[in-house]
Amino acid sequence: MTILIDPPAWPAHGTVFSHLVSDTSLVELRSFARAAGVPDRAFDLDHYDVAEYRHDDLVAAGAVPVEGGELARRLVASGLRVRGSERAGSKHEPLLARWDRLCPASSGDWHAAGMALDARWREPHRTYHTALHLAFALDALDLLLSDADSAGEPVPRPIAWRSRVALWFHDAVHDGATPADEEASAALVHELLGASDEDAEEIARLVVVTAAHAPDPDDLAGCLVSDADLAVLGGEPADYTRYTHQVRAEYAHVPDDLFRRGRAQVLTSLLAGNALFRTPWGRARWQARATANLAAELTTLNR
């Protein structure tokens, strides 16, 4: 495992910045950065941005200086890189535009709620439950709704709308505790959208569904939200592996042997249960690959 740093060449905030990456592990990267006094807020999905004045200090602390092209190649080879298209979709402006489109009329309160949610998804302690995950889940829901249309079973617009809003809230509070995080996120719905609003009540209920991912079969909105949240499990193997690194880094404070045991228990439970995906469209899209991904990770953990 190697920590790499490129020459400071990226201008911002009146100085130039280097990129700090690992060629193997986000846990290693986060541990190195924290030990060197680099704040979590400098983390940007797959690297840290560090100001020019820190470059030599970080090299002295053990980071290996390489040219920018070499750093980029090593990051790609590590499997930790976030692609440019993914990064673009998770930026503040496009995500907030998606939120604003959910409001049928211009509303300052609605926009302010979106700003508050966006800020939560960008909290510096997160490495998986980030704006990248939010954008991915929203895209997954769009795929499910499109599949339903293609199958001649269009989802009613109120259900689709509530499902989209619920995804914005579903991990808005994330401190690593289930179901406390989901319950706090559901409470945030009432805080931002209204305590007695009927839509807010239903959206809050959908947020809580993501704690166990076990909605009733006739709960279409719950099934859609659950499937969209779990869609990452059915990703391409390389993307799934990157997801496991992101999750591990979010729990970097947990000792490795303890994390492995806990993670193995979760995977075993998922593989032993019913279908992971509750809609027919989610099962068709992601079930087979998710089962293969989970089994492969479990095999690695049990070695």
Superfamily of domain 84-303: 3'5'-cyclic nucleotide phosphodiesterase, catalytic domain (1.10.1300.10)
SS (H, E, C) the chain: CCEEECCCCEEECCEEEEEEEECCCHHHHHHHHHHCCCCHHHECCCCEEEEHHHHHHHHHCCCEECCHHHHHHHHHHHCCCCCHHHHHHCCHHHHHHHHHHCCCCCCHHHHHHHHHHHHHHCCCCCCCCCHHHHHHHHHHHHHHHHHHHHCCCCCCHHHHHHHHHHHHHCCCCCCCCCCHHHHHHHHHHHHHHCCCCHHHHHHHHHHHHHHHCCCCCCCHHHHHHHHHHHHHHHCCHHHHHHHHHHHHHHCCCCCHHHHHHHHHHHHHHHHHCCCCCCCHHHHHHHHHHHHHHHHHHHHHHHC
The pLDDT tens digits along the chain (303 residues) read 799 999 999 999 999 999 999 999 999 999 999 999 999 999 999 999 999 999 999 999 999 999 999 999 999 999 999 999 999 999 999 999 999 999 866 566 899 999 999 999 999 999 999 999 999 999 999 999 999 999 999 999 999 999 999 999 999 999 988 899 999 999 999 999 986 688 999 999 999 999 999 999 999 999 999 999 999 999 999 999 999 999 999 999 899 999 999 999 999 999 998 889 999 999 999 999 999 999 999 999 988
Does this model's pTM top 0.85? My answer is: yes
